[in-house]
Amino acid sequence: MSEPILSARDVVVKFSLRGQILTAIRGASLDLYEGKTLAIVGESGSGKSVFTKTFLGMLDANGWVDSGSIMFEGMDLAKLKTEREWLKIRGKKIAMIFQDPMTALNPLRTVGMQIQEVLELHQGLKGEEAKARTIEILGQVGISDPAMRYHQYPHEFSGGMRQRVVIAIAVACNPRILICDEPTTALDVTIQAQILELIRGLQKKLGLTIIYITHDLGVVANVADDVAVMYAGDIIEYGTAEEIFYNAQHPYTWALLSSLPQLGIKGQPLYSIRGTPPNLFNEIKGDAFAPRNPRALKIDFVKRPPYFQVSPTHYARTWLLDPRAPKVEPPATIKAMRAKYARDAI
């Protein structure tokens, strides 16, 4: 396997909130490979967005990277402090698009100007040249009559169209990595597919490396090469999409997959994970998922599991993979999936 383009190790992110310190990311590690699409999945509040924001230095003012490293192009992004240093990365090398296209654009400036601004900033284009390029990009992201649309304001665009504009802004920077923070959550289902298709097309054309942040496993199955599963500020399982879907090892990943309606077994109630995610203000001991895991081991409450390697591309943080652990059968839905996969493989 080639060198990763970005490699995060043991990243710890803290926030100070209401006079207390909150640990949002608890030593998460991640490798990102050039030209691939990585999906980070997890429920709301698991730290997906916060984790990726550290790659851009865009944590809110009350948050900071406490320890760990994020290596990118021979630089440790975790060590960057000043805005000047970040400006060499943001937009230029790593770009990000956000969940809600309705609010992501400045309502008082024309769509054209908001894209052109980026071209002037990063590619030194000016005047007519910049305008021509802007119109070209608008066309590229699938906006019809771009020359007319160039002069319009965001409120004259539909949600899907606005997300296309946001994507246009991101790719106008010509970045190496594009982080998509739930890019389709706020959109209609029919539009979702179009946007995913657009991103996929741009990836091919521009050789982008993409990180998808999502809680929609349908999207993951659709677009991802690799998948990282996050829970309570930690990546608890990491592998190729196939490995995660058909050979998951962590009880949380099992629970997550079991709650997919598509995988439910007819006539039986849909599985739902019991309990609530942990309060990040408190120190978490052992495996964060243990209190919600009906088949947790005693050690899960005492000691945090290390990463166990399942395959060269597949890691999971669970004591179940320890040779001393008792054999635990995955739930029925997971077994059914594995069986189906084994059949299909033959």
* DSSP secondary structure letters along 224-275: -SEEEEEETTEEEEEEEHHHHHHS--SHHHHHHHHT-GGGPPTTSPPP---S
Distance, in Å, from the CA atom of 309 to the CA atom of 292, rounded to the nearest integer, reads 24
One of 72, 150, 157, 319 touching other proteins (CB under 8 A): 319
CA distance 177 to 4: 12
Provide the residue type at 338 as one letter: R
Q: Which residues contact 54 (CB under 8 A, 6 or more apart)?
A: 8, 11, 13, 25, 65, 70, 77, 78
User: Closest separation between CB of residue 114 and other proteins, Å?
Assistant: 8
Residue 221 in the binding site for other proteins (CB under 8 A): no
In whole angstroms, the minimum distance from the beta carbon of 219 to other proteins comes to: 21
Could you tell me which of 89, 91, 88, 114 has the C-alpha nearest to residue 101? 114
The residue among 29 and 249 lying less far from other proteins, judged by its C-beta, is: 249
Q: Which of 9, 92, 304, 338 binds other proteins (CB under 8 A)?
A: 92
Rounded CA gap, 317 and 321, in Å? 8
* Token reading at 94: 């790593």
Beta strands in 47-186 (DSSP E): 63-72, 75-76, 94-97, 177-181
Nearest CB to other proteins, comparing residues 105 and 241: 105
- Pick from 22, 18, 15, 17: nearest CA to 53: 15
Query: Shortest approach of other proteins to residue 247 CB, angstroms?
Result: 22
CB of 118 vs other proteins, minimal distance in Å: 5
- Residue placing its CB nearer to other proteins in the complex, 165 or 224: 165
Of residues 259-288, those binding other proteins (CB under 8 A):
274-279
* Cα separation, 116 vs 150, whole angstroms: 10
Stretch that binds other proteins, among 34-42, 132-140, 316-324, 331-339 (CB under 8 A): 316-324
What is the rounded CA–CA span in Å between residue 154 and residue 177? 26
Residue 71 β-bridge partners: 7, 76
State which of residues 73, 79, 103, 205 lies at the interface with other proteins (CB under 8 A): 103
> Is 98 an interacting residue with respect to other proteins (CB under 8 A)?
yes
Nearer to other proteins, 327 or 343 (CB): 327
Identified binder of other proteins from the candidate list 9, 17, 193, 310, rule CB under 8 A: 17
Q: Is 96 in the site for other proteins (CB under 8 A)?
A: yes
Of 132 and 302, which CB lies nearer to other proteins in the complex structure?
302
Binding mask 159-198 for other proteins (x = CB under 8 A): -------x--xx-xx-------------------------
Mapped onto helix, strand or coil, the DSSP state of residue 41 is strand
Identify residues 104-163 at the interface with other proteins (CB under 8 A).
104-109, 117-118, 121-122, 153, 155
309 binds other proteins (CB under 8 A): no
Contact 232, 291 (CB under 8 A): no
In this structure, the number of other CB atoms found within 10 A of the CB of residue 176 comes to 20
CA–CA separation, 312 vs 162, rounded Å? 40
# residues contacting other proteins (CB under 8 A): 59
Q: Which of 34, 43, 85, 100: binder of other proteins (CB under 8 A)?
A: 100
Nearer to other proteins, 276 or 309 (CB): 276
Does 321 engage in binding with other proteins (CB under 8 A)? no
Binding residues for other proteins, rule: CB under 8 A, are: 17-18, 56, 58, 62, 83, 87, 89-92, 95-98, 100, 103-109, 117-118, 121-122, 153, 155, 166, 169-170, 172-173, 274-279, 290-303, 319, 322, 324-326
